[in-house]
Structure 1
Amino acid sequence: MWLTVIGFAIGWIIAKIIKLIWAVITDPIRCLWQLLTR
């Protein structure tokens, strides 16, 4: 029981971190792309 709760929490935290990193990486690229293609 506790292992599944801990595993779920760890997975959720990792997913949040990956999503945050992905946003940091892709946002500047998207901004540059909009500037270039305007």
Structure 2
Amino acid sequence: MRRTTSRLPRNTLALGALVMLLVIFAAAIGANLIAP
């Protein structure tokens, strides 16, 4: 448990990057579907 807490910051940064990428992909797909 203590080791995981020490690694939380890195995990949060990785999750944030993945979320940003997913949002960008979703926006691109939505734009393509709305205006093909």
The number of residue pairs the alignment matches comes to 32
Unaligned 5+ residue runs, structure 1?
33-38
What does 1:1-38 correspond to in 2, within 5 Å? 1-32=5-36
Counterpart Cα distance in 2 of 1:13 and 1:2: 19
Calculate the aligned-residue CA RMSD, in Å: 1.3
Quote how far apart the aligned CAs of 1:31 are. 2.4
Quote how far apart the aligned CAs of 1:30 are. 1.5
Quote how far apart the aligned CAs of 1:6 are. 0.2
The structure with the largest alpha-carbon Rg is: 1
Unaligned 5+ residue runs, structure 2?
none
Runs of 4+ that moved beyond 3 A: none
Counterpart Cα distance in 2 of 1:26 and 1:17: 14
